[in-house]
Amino acid sequence: MSEREELIELVRQRSFQYSEDPVFTLVSGKKSNFYFNLKAVTYYPASLVLIGRLMYETIRKQGLSPAGIGGLTMGADPIAIAVAYTSQLAGNPIQAFSVRKTPKSHGLRLPIEGNMEPGDPVIVVEDVVTTGSSTIKAIQAVRDFGLEILQVIALLDRCEENGRANIEACGVEMVALLDITDFMPEGG
């Protein structure tokens, strides 16, 4: 079994839920036949190893050379840390960073936590893309901080509610490691 297939199986076991009737309410208010709680995967040790390797491999295959990787806390945090760890082991370190939902009201009031400097090329990551709104919020914060976005990489694209199109309308290409077709029952 490939690492990608192993990750799909872990998502299927730990995160994916499906119903013949649309019983799952999404953040948008829309009802759906399926739901993913990816925190049950992205915070699971075996999954983190696979996510780190697969994301890092995706970055390398595309010829990207980011200084950093991160996104909106908390969905992106374990993914970014897994990639940072994997990249360090490979001898090609990529810094992890986190975009705060709101900057702290004290201290340095930073919207981005990590070791990024304006002008650094980065990848924005997301656990699940539906409408793309949290990814777009991260894109705006990253750009406001002065970072150069090379690409958005999602762990999972639900392939509904125009998430990819909404993100790409911001002028950033998005790729996804997995999408809903990896999980839907035959004929679903």
Domain-located, residue 29: yes
Task: Give the chain's domain count.
Answer: 1
Domain-located, residue 50: yes
* Closest C-alpha to 102, from 87, 90, 113: 113
Range of the domain at 106: 3-182
| Count of residues in the chain | 188
> Rounded CA gap, 160 and 179, in Å?
10
Domain-located, residue 100: yes
Domain-located, residue 115: yes
Inter-residue contact 178 to 8 (CB < 8 Å): yes
Write the CATH number for 79. 3.40.50.2020
Q: Mark residue 102 as left, alpha or beta (left: phi above 0; alpha: psi -120 to 50; beta: remaining).
A: beta
Query: What does the H/E/C string look like for 57-106?
Result: HHHHHCCCCCCEEEEECCCCHHHHHHHHHHHHHCCCCCEEEEECCCCCCC
Domain-located, residue 188: no
Domain-located, residue 155: yes
Domain-located, residue 187: no
pLDDT (tens, 9 = 90+) of the chain, 188 residues, equals 999 999 999 999 999 999 999 999 988 888 999 999 999 999 999 999 999 999 999 999 999 999 999 999 999 999 999 999 999 999 999 999 999 987 666 555 678 999 999 999 999 999 999 999 999 999 999 999 999 999 999 999 999 899 999 999 999 999 999 999 999 866 45
